[in-house]
Amino acid sequence: MGVDLRFIPTAAKRVLDRKAFYAQLVVTDACNLRCAYCDEYLADAPLVGLDALRRRVDRLDELGALVFDFLGGEPLLHPGLAELVAHAKSKRGGSNLATVITNGFLLTRENVRALSAAKLDFMQVSVDTLEPTELSQKAVRPLLPKLRLLAEEARFKVEIQTVLSERSVEEYADFRQALEGLPFSFGFSLRHEPGGRIAIRGRRYLELLERHGVFEGVNFYGEHLREMLLGDDSRPWKCLAGSKFLYINAAGEAQWCGQQRGWRIPLETLDLDGLAANDEHKPCESGCVIGCARMVSHTLGEPLRTLGASLSLAGQSLRARPAEPVGQGAAVFRSPCPERDQTGERSGQGR
């Protein structure tokens, strides 16, 4: 399944207009796992009602959103997830994008088929290590049967997203070998401190990313990532969170992103003037590695690069075959954010 070509001109309009482009919606703060480093789930948190979620999708669509990420906690805990995806895909003739970000442990043949039938575009499965660790349960070995099931049943693209850690440097080649033959793409994100600032540095990470071609997938800010990994956060950029990128928490409030909660406003009261008011520099830009917000900000903030990438995306969509694995660079607008984005020390995590 390729990106609908009608998506591209509408996405291009977002470069010039005042509307939103990309929205993340938390469907529940609850999670089936208990990763030690994570402070972004609430044990026994309620599911957000399906009607309320539908209304949030409606409002985000009115505000212009073209990409909907459904996330948690763990979104597969929500029995209405496929219906919600179908609701999002009922907008704009289905030319928008719907993605789910999950730890994958609750995947079943039934829910994969339901999400396929709902026309889900992408699923991002967060897998950090080969074996479970003290900090993260999101490991290849226990998840492998679910990933094989996904390979058999999914009619959407799947990306295995790994938060870069010291362990990645040691074992990533084995990690990839364990997943060899599965028709998935692979991505990384960088561990951050509370507040979104990069928490790992070092040439060895850079070399790992280059060895596995990950910079192709973040071509809009790959240079920034290189510099930040080497300790230089000085390159200026403008964060479009709260303007082109929105994070909607379980209570239905819009935030800049999952890491910044200073600005919060009920989604139903947010309008185009409110979006425009957030089209300004943020105090937390230096060293920020919130990949999804950065991808959107660089994509829409640098129109010439966007045009080139969009043409490339169009070419890839035309060439794509249904069962074809997706390369790093193939889906410029896929979600670059992992579910609970980070792994590592207890002090630093978050989407």
Q: Give the footprint of ligand SF4 on this chain (CB under 6 A).
A: 31, 33-35, 38, 40-41, 72-74, 103, 138, 196, 239, 241, 256-257, 259-260, 282, 284-285, 288, 290, 293, 339-340
Of the pair 27, 239, the CB lying nearest ligand SF4 is at 239
CB of 203 to ligand SF4, least distance (A): 24
The DSSP-derived string for 227-269 is HHHTT---------BTTTEEEE-TTSEEEEETTEEEEEEEGGG
Distance CA 45, CA 78 (A): 12
Specify the pairing of strand 260-266 against strand 253-257: antiparallel
* 184 φ/ψ angles, rounded to the nearest 5 degrees: -115, 160
Distance CA 115, CA 65 (A): 20
Asked if 192 and 259 touch (Cβ cutoff 8 Å), the reply is yes
**Tokens at residue 4, please?**
């609908």
CB of 269 to ligand SF4, least distance (A): 20
Q: Tell me how far CA of residue 117 lies from CA of 82, 113, 114, 313, 335, in angstroms.
A: 8, 6, 5, 24, 20
CB of 322 to ligand SF4, least distance (A): 30
Of the pair 44, 51, the CB lying nearest ligand SF4 is at 44
CB of 4 to ligand SF4, least distance (A): 27
Return the closest-CA partner of residue 6 out of 97, 75, 83. 97
Q: Which residues of 209-226 are buried (b: 16+ CB within 10 A; e: fewer)?
A: beebebbebbbbbbebbb
CB of 33 to ligand SF4, least distance (A): 4
CB of 192 to ligand SF4, least distance (A): 8
Of the pair 64, 72, the CB lying nearest ligand SF4 is at 72
Q: How far is CA 102 from the centre of its chain?
A: 10
Of the pair 103, 185, the CB lying nearest ligand SF4 is at 103
CB of 327 to ligand SF4, least distance (A): 26
DSSP state of 275: H
Of the pair 47, 239, the CB lying nearest ligand SF4 is at 239
Of the pair 103, 124, the CB lying nearest ligand SF4 is at 103
Distance CA 102, CA 156 (A): 14
Of the pair 31, 199, the CB lying nearest ligand SF4 is at 31
CB of 193 to ligand SF4, least distance (A): 10
Of the pair 156, 221, the CB lying nearest ligand SF4 is at 221
